Structure 1
Amino acid sequence: MFQNLPPHIVRMIASHVEGCSRLLFDGLRDDLKGRPDLLIPLLWICHNFRDTVYSQLCSRYSLYFDTDANSMACFWPGWPSRFNKRNHASYHLAKRLTLKLNMQTILSGKALEMLSRPPFTDGTFPRTRFIHFNIAWPRGQEREVDNATLLSDSETSIYAFVQRVKQLAPMVNHISVSPQYVTLIQHKTTIRLFSSLASQLFQLASCVEYRSSGMNIPVVLRSETLHGLTHITYDSKGYTVDVRGQLMQMVRQNAQTLQYLVIRAVVLIDVAGLNQDVDGNYIKYPNLRTLKLELRKSTPTIHRPVASGVAPFPNLRHLTINDHYPFGDDIAFRDNSTTLEYLCIMPRRDTCDMLRQYRVFTPSSHPKLQCVKVSGLPDDAPNHFQSTDLFTQFVLNIAPGASVRDIAISEPVDDTFHALDNLQSHTCIQVLVLPDTVLPLWFVVSLIKWLPLLSNLHCLSIYADPLTEEVSLDEVHTYVQSLCSLKYRQFRCLRLNKANSPYFEQIVMCIAVVTAICPNFNHIALPSISHNKFMTVLEEAIESGKYEQYKPHLQRLLFWK
């Protein structure tokens, strides 16, 4: 049967398996990375699946240049270590390529020499669309080159290296450059050569990215080199105030072309210049689609007055603001209500007050908003969201008329059934991720009744307490009908306590229902005092014949125990 499936159907199945693995391991994230290794069981189904899985496992390839040994270490990051190494014929499957090398390796011509050896031939990476260059200039190797001939030779080596990269990956459209260990480099020649390399690499692609971390200073590059960037990622940790100011100037310089911006700052003042330059002129980012602000130190919010007509991010689709919301008004939400699709933010009191004050979310105001994620636990919401008002006004009423389909809350929700009660109005929800929250069984059933489109519920565990689970046996059949409509469900464990109760049999039956529906239901935590009674109820239910339709699932539970 599987052997005759069309290739596009096979790819869809593999994509679905990988998608489920993302949710299982990562919850809802805006930068989802698949788990190709979880596709390995598909290898044994048929040849069609084998080809698809191999192409996924070989989609990333890395080259590490060892200058001292005059050799390269080549490997597939996604390839399982227990498998035999892939041969050279698999190079054509690589979609993402990483080159980690020393700047001196390029200038000396050794990098070009290594890339000209077998098995590397012209067009070795025909499918590669993305190349990341991790380029180091170790301390102690920087020097001035006053000799014009030596400088010319270095420029020639850079040009030859870039042209070789172009030959190997002719279809590349995204270039990323990340310099390392250049913090102390101030020599003019160093700046010139590094700028020349970056500039020529950026000319190979339409999408160009500059990544900065605390170990490098992007200002060593000439300003013209950093013009026209589409992606910028920088971390200001360890930088001086002057350098951080130049980093922000680099961002503003590329405002017209930026599509993706990540700023990992130490204090809020680091993002103060995002919307205004030093002369007070407002900056607009017309093409920015993704904005991530990760602030790491508790400092007061920026209350700089901003003109009401200023909208710096009019086409924003993905917005992630970890820890503090850095602005004192709604400037991050202006004029993008019809484009915003994903929101990840921490519900601090001042953030909630700002959203309410400026009426950011009103009925039907965000028709494309599909995913809302509550990230982290704010310091001003002690005891895990016991402040129900704070929790509900931020998440559950965030877009009453919008088509929010996915909600993720990355911290435990203690007062669950009160805090989540307003979910009844969000009938569009398809995915609910509560990875650190324990849910009572009766509440799970309530969610299913409230949310007719719910297809994926991810929670830490479910517990069934016979003293509170007053469930009639007639309702068990209703549960089965509701649960059977779900496509996928993830429950990690089930706890059953206080077995001395008249409702114990009903709870055991509910467990059987959950077992029937949940493919990943793999653990029942039972106190020793109730284990024997649980077994007895299972055996009696099987023998009675009253639950014939649940018999396979009851036997499955019995087998597990």
Structure 2
Amino acid sequence: MPNPGTLRILREGKVFTPVSHPKLQYVSLGLHLDSEPNIFETDVDYMRFVLNIGVNVPVRTITDSLTGADFQSVIPVFGEYTCIQVLTLEALRLNLWDVIALVKALPLLSDLHTSYYVIGPRPDGVAEHELSAYVIANYAPAGKRFRSWNFTVRSEDVKNSVRCVLLLALVCPNFNYAAVTPIDRDLFMAYMSEMISTEEFRPHESRLRRLLFGGAKNEIRSVDTLLEAKEAGFGSWGW
């Protein structure tokens, strides 16, 4: 991120406007450190400036120090920049509800990259096994162009991330690919098959088994392919 003086020049000079760089396709912004002088009054003010660098740019990478709670306050700002198609958010711990909100705010979003992901707190009065029915009733359909989510996950959160993938797929009708790193992919697929077969997700089994998954090497295998290999007696679900 440029120093505060440079930011002030960019901000006040309106260097980036909707027509100043019509061929700009990609914007990448570095870390906004809390220890640096801040010329922005609020996180919303800051994020609006960040997104306004190349207003019509479809591909953006934003590395930021906002916490997940703070991110909730800036989600509405994304709705002012609906041209975004590919978005990378680093150094942000987003949960399921953050991602759903982003997908709803960005109708053209097709690919999302996040650095860390958890389900987040359940809505009041909603039991864990009721989450699938809840997201369908309250959020589906959303993000009709959304198709791919690439995220990193801690090893202790693998099972929760599997659940997030399934819930997101129930909300977004064309979501079909999750790239998950760095994890034991065999373990991820085992959890996936197990969860799809539960009473909660079984009504959507045919849809969910068409999801594709990849890892660090971007290798893609579907749940059905792995199940067929296992049933054929090939033993381990190796990649």
| Structure 2 residue matching 1:486: 3-state secondary structure | coil
1:433 & 1:548 partners in 2: Cα distance?
30
Find out whether 1:429 has 2:51 as its counterpart: no
Partner AA of 1:404 in structure 2: V
RMSD of Structure 2 on Structure 1 (CA): 4.3
* Alignment CA distance shift 1:479-1:390 (3 Å): closer
Match of 2:6 among 351, 368, 388: 351
2:118 & 2:41 partners in 1: Cα distance?
20
Find out whether 1:452 has 2:128 as its counterpart: no
User: 2:31 touches 2:63 (CA, 8 Å); kept in 1?
Assistant: yes
| Structure 2 residue matching 1:520: 3-state secondary structure | strand
Structure-2 residue corresponding to 1:540: 199
Match of 1:491 among 141, 147, 151: 151
Partner AA of 2:119 in structure 1: A
Structure-1 residue corresponding to 2:167: 510
* Alignment CA distance shift 1:372-1:523 (3 Å): closer
Partner AA of 1:403 in structure 2: N
Instruction: Name which one, 1 or 2, has greater alpha-carbon Rg.
Output: 1
Find out whether 1:520 has 2:184 as its counterpart: no
Partner AA of 2:85 in structure 1: Q
Partner AA of 2:200 in structure 1: A
Q: List aligned pairs for 1:138-177, cutoff 5 A.
A: none
| Structure 1 residue matching 2:179: 3-state secondary structure | coil
User: 2:158 touches 2:183 (CA, 8 Å); kept in 1?
Assistant: yes
| Structure 1 residue matching 2:115: 3-state secondary structure | strand
Partner AA of 1:473 in structure 2: A
| Structure 2 residue matching 1:539: 3-state secondary structure | coil
* Alignment CA distance shift 1:540-1:389 (3 Å): closer
Structure-2 residue corresponding to 1:391: 46
Structure-2 residue corresponding to 1:134: none
User: 2:28 touches 2:60 (CA, 8 Å); kept in 1?
Assistant: yes
Q: List aligned pairs for 1:87-486, cutoff 5 A.
A: 346-378=1-33, 379-380=35-36, 388-389=43-44, 391-399=46-54, 402-414=55-67, 415-468=70-123, 473=133, 475-476=135-136, 482=142, 485-486=145-146
Q: Deviations over 1:528-560 (max 9, x none)?
A: xxxx9xx68952235xx5334445269949x88
User: 2:114 touches 2:151 (CA, 8 Å); kept in 1?
Assistant: yes
Normalising by structure 2, we get a TM-score of 0.59
Q: Deviations over 1:10-60 (max 9, x none)?
A: xxxxxxxxxxxxxxxxxxxxxxxxxxxxxxxxxxxxxxxxxxxxxxxxxxx
1:363 & 1:508 partners in 2: Cα distance?
35
User: 1:437 touches 1:459 (CA, 8 Å); kept in 2?
Assistant: yes
1:483 & 1:448 partners in 2: Cα distance?
5
Task: Identify unmatched segments of 5+ residues in structure 2.
Answer: 185-190, 212-221, 228-236
Cα distance, 1:366 vs structure 2: 3.5
Cα distance, 1:460 vs structure 2: 0.8
2:139 & 2:176 partners in 1: Cα distance?
10
Structure-2 residue corresponding to 1:142: none
Partner AA of 1:380 in structure 2: E
Higher relative contact order (CA 8 A, sep 6+): 2
Task: Identify unmatched segments of 5+ residues in structure 1.
Answer: 1-345, 500-505, 526-531
Q: Indicate the percent of aligned positions where both proteins have the same amino acid.
A: 29
Cα distance, 1:395 vs structure 2: 0.5
Normalising by structure 1, we get a TM-score of 0.28
